[in-house]
Amino acid sequence: MEELFGGFSLGLFFWQAVLFLALVFLLRKFAWKPILDSVSSREEGIKDALEAAENAKKEMENLQADNEKLLKEARAEREAMLKEARDIKNKMIEDAKEEANEAAAKLMAQAQATIETEKKAAISELKSQVANLSIEIAEKVVRDELSNKAKQVKLVESMLGEATLN
């Protein structure tokens, strides 16, 4: 121990202290501070850049999700529109059919009615024709009958007989 401190030199201690402290302060001002500052700002920059990249990635994912959603919605809408169109079409066809049926039924009814009236008219005409014919025939027959006296009496008699009976 004695030898250890026997070697102690105050001068060397003094110079070491002066030079070392000066070195610490000089290096702090001209080296350590700028170096550590640049390193930490660089590290900060890298961290920020990584974060920004991460955010961008997330945003992209969100966008993609949005797109997916929009696409889905569009698809659903298209589906709905198509369905509606189909429904409208079906309804139109249905309506058209119904209308056509109605029109046909109406026409038929009209036709039937016309036929009925025509038939009635024809029948009544036929009836009158038949009556006329019958009268003509009866006239001719009567004319024939009346040409003969005997026959005329006979007829009157029969007719009278009939009328009395009634």
Partner 1 sequence: MRKKIAFKPITLLLLLITFVSFGKEDKQHGEPEGDLRGEIKEYIQHHLLDSYDFGLYSYTTEAGEHKYVGFPLPVILWDNGLKVFSSSKFHHGETVAEAGGSYYKQHHGKIYKVDGPNGAIIEDDHHHATNEKPLDFSITKNVVLIAMVFAIMFFMFSRMAKSYKKNNGMPKGMGRFLEPIVLYVRDEIAIPNIGEKKYKKYMSYLLTVFFFVWIVNLFGLTPIGMNVTNNIAVTLCLALITYLITTFSGNKNYWKHIFWMPGVPVPMKIILAPIELLGTFIKPFALMIRLYANITAGHVVLMSIIGMMFIFNNWLGSSLSFLLAFVLGILELLVAALQAYIFTVLSALYFGMAVEDHDHH
Tokens of 139: 């006239």
Q: Would you say 19 or 111 has its CB closer to partner 1? A: 19
Q: How far is the CB of 16 from partner 1 (least distance, A)?
A: 4
The least CB distance from residue 56 to partner 1, in Å, is 23
Instruction: Give whichever of 30 and 101 is closer to partner 1, judged by the CB atom.
Output: 30
Nearer to partner 1, 24 or 74 (CB): 24
- Residues interacting with partner 1, by CB under 8 A? 4-17, 19-28, 30-36, 38-39, 41-42, 45
Rounded to a whole number of angstroms, the minimum distance from the CB of residue 77 to partner 1 is: 52
How long, in residues, is the chain?
166
Q: How far is the CB of 51 from partner 1 (least distance, A)?
A: 18
Q: Name the residue nearer to partner 1 (CB basis): 35 or 104.
A: 35
